[in-house]
């Protein structure tokens, strides 16, 4: 889980307005101008106009390099800009969102993305935004019509709440320079890490992969919010495989991740850690086979946190599963923790918090940091378990009974609309 540290950026709540901040980027100005036109001009005869429109542009550079036994196997650096649009028809109480209108599990997604030319020309950005909003508007009309029909045929649930939450308007523009990636250093590192496997004749595969990205994320909404946030991240993975004398396949790995592309440890430090990993694999290969055992298993260190994350992460999302109007019954399942607020789910004394604002615990870097979530809501530290008792879900702007507001945990993965999720 995340750390207990808390960093609070300053966000200014303002009244909704059509103009962009004075320090807005060219992309923000283009998006705001196109939004003002679309929110008024998007309409079809006899159909409702959108009540909410949001654009998000991710302008980023990604680097990915890999090596095996000291030789490069992949080397990619890519710069791209993509635009996501969210168009909602109806109103906050009942709208087109969180509904599967077709036969595809992704047909309910409101955050399908479109590529933007890299030159950042005003007209080019507006054209992509216009086409995207037009496409999403037509899909939203279809979804709302089917959603209303489905609900009319069902008995109203006592747990039904609004479809979209009201949130404060924010304006936040980070004008810091974007992080700089260092592909030459990355190549040298993955070659050195993967070469460690070649020092042992019993290691069958030794592969290292490094991914790094630097991004400027711009979000604007028809409610008046503007948020421009810089993000960067890096992760390195070394995987070593061997085989015991009895044929059992063995694997061990080294992993490092951080919220900033410049937080990479020194190469000598990582190589030393890689050698320790290789030694552990050798010792495991020579270790005797443990006889059948029935009893408790103890996890410690990072493994303990990973076990808890594996068990609980999918259950902590408070975003209700999408409703469905198709015959295949493609609605998602409710988390097992629904109805268990205040119930004990961990031993006495256990406290779990998810804090997207924390970048490290002591000297240990963390991954998954952000200040603004994917729906333009400031990130918040959330205590999900206190003294072993379940206290709160991680929420997006799609409410559920007892949780009418977002707590800044909306995340999307390019395939689905934002949903409440862990920061990592």
Cα R_g (the chain), whole angstroms: 24
Q: Identify the three-state secondary structure at position 124.
A: helix
- pLDDT tier at 21, thresholds 50, 70, 90: low
pLDDT confidence of residue 17? 38
Confidence category of residue 9, pLDDT binned at 50, 70, 90: very low
Q: What confidence tens digit (pLDDT) does each residue in 309-363 have?
A: 898 988 999 999 998 866 454 456 788 999 999 999 999 999 999 999 999 888 8
Q: What's the rounded Cα separation, in Å, for the pair 200 and 195?
A: 10
Stated pTM of the model: 0.87
Q: What is the pLDDT of residue 209?
A: 98
What is the mean predicted confidence (pLDDT) over 246-266?
93
Per-residue pLDDT at 332: 63
Question: Cα-flanking dihedrals φ and ψ of residue 231, to 5°?
Answer: -135, 150
Q: What is the DSSP string of 75-110?
A: EEEEEEEEEEEEEEEB-SSSBS-SEE-SSSTTTT-S
Who's near 363: CB < 8 A, 6+ residues apart?
none
Pairing of β 382-386 and β 352-354: antiparallel
At 328-342, the pLDDT tens digits run: 544 567 889 999 999
Nearest to 410, CA basis, from 359, 376, 369, 366: 376
Highest mean pLDDT among 67-81, 103-117, 357-371: 67-81
Mean pLDDT of 22-33: 84
Inform me whether the pLDDT recorded for 112 exceeds 80. Answer: no
Q: Alpha helix locations (H) across 107-220?
A: 122-152, 183-195
Mind listing the pLDDT tens digit for each residue in 175-191? 899 999 999 999 999 99
Q: 100: pLDDT confidence band, cut at 50, 70 and 90?
A: confident
Average pLDDT, the chain: 88
What average pLDDT score do residues 136-151 get?
Answer: 94
pLDDT at residue 22 is higher than 60 = no
As given in the structure block, the two tokens for residue 388 are 């072993």
Asked if residue 381 lies in contact with residue 6, where contact means CB atoms within 8 angstroms, the answer is: yes
The percentage of the chain sitting over the pLDDT mark of 90, rounded to a whole number, equals 72
Q: Long-range contacts for 319-322 (Cβ within 8 Å, ≥24 apart)? A: 319/98, 319/395, 319/396, 319/398, 319/400, 319/410, 319/419, 319/420, 320/98, 320/398, 320/400, 322/98, 322/99, 322/100, 322/108
Lowest mean pLDDT among 222-226, 327-331, 334-338, 371-375: 327-331
Distance CA 422, CA 385 (A): 13
The gap between the terminal CA atoms of the chain, to the nearest Å, is 8
The one-character DSSP state at 320 is P
The Cα–Cα gap between 212 and 208 comes to 14
Of the candidate ranges 5-9, 46-50, 261-265, 400-404, the one whose mean pLDDT is the lowest:
5-9
Q: Going by CATH, does the domain composed of 12-286+299-420 fall within 3.30.2290.10? A: yes
| Res 102: pLDDT | 66
């Amino acid at each position: 889980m995340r750390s207990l540290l808390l960093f609070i950026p300053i966000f200014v709540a303002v009244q909704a307005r059509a103009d962009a901040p004075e320090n807005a980027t060219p992309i923000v100005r283009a998006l705001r101008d196109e939004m003002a036109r679309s929110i008024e001009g998007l309409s079809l005869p006899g159909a409702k106009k959108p009540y909410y429109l949001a654009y998000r542009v991710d302008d980023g550079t990604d680097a990915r390099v890999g090596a095996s036994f000291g030789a490069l196997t992949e080397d990619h650096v890519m710069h791209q800009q993509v635009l996501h649009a969210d168009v909602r028809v109806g109103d906050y109480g009942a709208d087109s969102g969180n509904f599967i209108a077709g036969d595809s599990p992704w047909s309910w997604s409101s955050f399908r993305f479109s590529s933007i030319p890299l030159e950042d020309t005003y007209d080019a950005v507006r054209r992509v935004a216009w086409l995207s909003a037009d496409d999403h508007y037509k899909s939203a009309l279809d979804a709302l019509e089917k959603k209303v029909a489905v609900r009319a045929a069902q008995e109203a649930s006592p747990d039904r709440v609004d479809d979209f939450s009201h949130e404060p308007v924010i304006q936040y523009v980070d004008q810091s320079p974007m992080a700089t990636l260092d592909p030459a250093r990355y190549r040298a590192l993955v070659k050195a890490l993967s070469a460690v496997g070649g020092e042992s004749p019993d290691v069958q595969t030794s592969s290292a992969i490094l991914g790094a990205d630097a991004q400027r994320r711009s979000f604007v909404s028809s409610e008046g919010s503007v948020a421009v946030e810089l993000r960067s991240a890096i992760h390195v993975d070394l995987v070593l495989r061997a085989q015991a004398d009895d044929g059992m396949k063995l694997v061990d790995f080294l992993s490092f991740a951080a919220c900033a592309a410049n937080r990479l440890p020194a190469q000598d430090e990582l190589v030393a850690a890689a050698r320790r990993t290789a030694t552990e694999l050798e010792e495991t290969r020579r270790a005797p086979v443990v006889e059948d055992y029935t009893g408790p298993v103890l996890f410690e260190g990072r493994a303990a946190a990973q076990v808890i994350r594996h068990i609980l992460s999918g259950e902590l999302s408070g975003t209700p599963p999408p409703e469905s109007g198709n015959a295949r019954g493609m609605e998602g399942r409710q988390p097992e923790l629904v109805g268990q607020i205040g119930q004990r789910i961990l031993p006495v004394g256990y406290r779990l918090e998810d804090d997207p604002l924390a970048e490290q615990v002591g000297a240990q870097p963390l991954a998954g940091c952000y200040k603004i979530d994917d729906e333009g809501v400031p990130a918040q530290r959330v205590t999900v378990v206190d003294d072993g008792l379940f206290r709160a879900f991680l929420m997006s702007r799609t409410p559920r009974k007892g949780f009418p507001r977002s707590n800044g945990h909306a995340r999307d993965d390019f395939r689905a609309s934002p949903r409440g999720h862990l920061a990592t």
